[in-house]
Chain A
Amino acid sequence: MTFLTIQGIGKRYGGMAALDGIDLAVPAGARMAIVGRSGSGKTTLLRIVAGFETADSGRVTLDGQVLAEGASAVPAHRRGIGYVPQDGALFPHLSVADNIAFGLERGLPGRDARVLDMMDMVELDRRMLGRRPHELSGGQQQRVALARALARQPRLMLLDEPFSALDTGLRETMRKAVADLLRAAGVTTILVTHDQNEALSFADHVAVLRQGRLAQAGTPQELYHRPCDRDTAAFLGDAIVLPAELGDGWAACGLGRVAADTGSRRGRAEIMLRPEQLRLAPASPADPAASPEAACHGRVTAVEFGGAVCKVAVSLLNGHAQDSQPALTVHSSSLDLPAINTHVRITVSGKAHVFAT
């Protein structure tokens, strides 16, 4: 069931189109991540949903209620949508307790209890209630900001890069904590981020925005493994894109013949593989001649040690290689890292993805 519907949203700043005909549907209870590079229009879209900005065209509907249609819009304070901005934006003149209670009407029965519930929910020590925002760490501030937004039991929660100001380690902890918390609260959530890892791990739905247009939307798995084009593929992670000749369920490319979802397509196309689909095995220089069709050989040109996952650059040696084929980057475990200039055999697991067009 679609809870939030965004239809044909367009927004221009001066001559620049910030958003151009965005359509998006968010099911109830979903965690949707809108991801894109800076300037892609993702924050503008979020602000239009929140009611901080009005779109030039298009429609936003929440739970059957039209929030915005063209330039006419329900003001933000009447939308019942929670919002957590990048650095929390806690009110510096108020204590933690007053921040959390800010959106609750004065004299509301159970107001204090609700604040305490929220503190527990975001796992903050109740002793912090009297503190001022500047006495909290970044992570604590984000928790308070979340509690403040949740206290009003919003219909929809908008998170605008809430983790980007945090340290790397804390960021992952917070991401998981917030995701669990929102799942438990059952609040439909939209997260805006420029970090594809964050988007993929946080959300059950991901939408990729590029230059004001919706590039693709779907589950994280769909987007990662079946991106609509080269740019989306590269944006969501390292990608090996190769020209190929399609056959029935396979593609012939620099790596030889690999399994692919070709469907009814034949002929020339571009295919994509994720680096983790490639495996390296030791091989001798004589091998390629022995089995030219079945396997693909290469020479290690560079090794980048990266702890758990290391990157190995391999240039292809066999006849399938195109003249100007650049070295492939393959992810490899640090345990069996090949040395530079050794010969390796490359095998492909899983299917290659065929780009449309």
Chain B
Amino acid sequence: MTMVFKHLARAAAVTVVLTGSSLTALAQGTAGSAADDGIVVYNAQHASLTQAWADGFTRDTGIKVTLRKGGDMELGNQIVQEGAASPADVFVTENSPAMALVDKAGLFAPLAADVLAQTPENFRPANGHWTGVAARSTVFAYNTAKLKPEQLPKSLLDLADPSWKGRWAASPAGADFQAIVGALLQLKGEAATASWLKGVKDNAKPYKGNGVAMKAVNAGEVEGAVIYHYYYVGDQANTGENSKNVALHYFRNNDPGAFLSLSGAGVLASSKHKAEAQAFVKWMTGTKGQEILRDGNAYEYAIASGVASNAKLEPIAKLQAPKVTPETLNNKAVTDLMTAAGLL
């Protein structure tokens, strides 16, 4: 019977060789190429948007871009854990808190002056460790058959009122909503935020993703949802199938609900391809990168290089967004508060 084992082991050896060769093939197909002749981007932005940026960048410069997908905080925390060993060269997010997290860990390399110069100061942190690349506005998307304009909440804080119980939706696990809570925390303090979150837990129906929440509004499952503007604009520009019964309500008046969230981009201090990484950030915030925002189907606000936003969007100036310091948005505090509120 030992013989059997020996020969099974021989068969196993053949398998090892097979495995080895497929591993080699895999390595060539995935990470290997990125590390050697291109940059790795930890991308928490919508895949299609960053892919368009990456494609344009590669076309112009010949530098390959490999994207790793994930959520803002997932990738942000991941970079912190990876520390100096992170394979990432560039970090791109949907919102600022994850950028603040990585910055606080001291893992960003300062951006070059010519990169920073492309973005107005109000759309990037003062320390210049990262920059905004796009922006999105908080909105209350509501079902036009269920809510009349005069019934709309005046402030985001109103939604914690018991009268809103079961009537609105949010995607609490998502980075978007957590960024909004982060802004609230910065603007109103911990006690107000904690009590508002308690109201969210009681009142809001949790959905997975803003798009899904909007679909629920459209279907009349809830009357409204706190989401970002572009889910609506994008769907309207597409088929309108998920938003035909939906309209957007902007809170304005410097309300926390009028929060304009900055998508960020930064170069990792640990990057071995800093020049290429800086070039990529510069390309995104440059004219061509911003024009992708204007002309593409992302429908986020263009904020840099003087490129105007898509005409379908509510002008930034009319949003009356509150003044938020992006580099101090604290997502750890937000997730702790949300965990305590039972939202996570």
| Touching chains A and B, CB distance < 8 Å | no
Tell me the A residues contacting B by CB distance below 8 Å. none
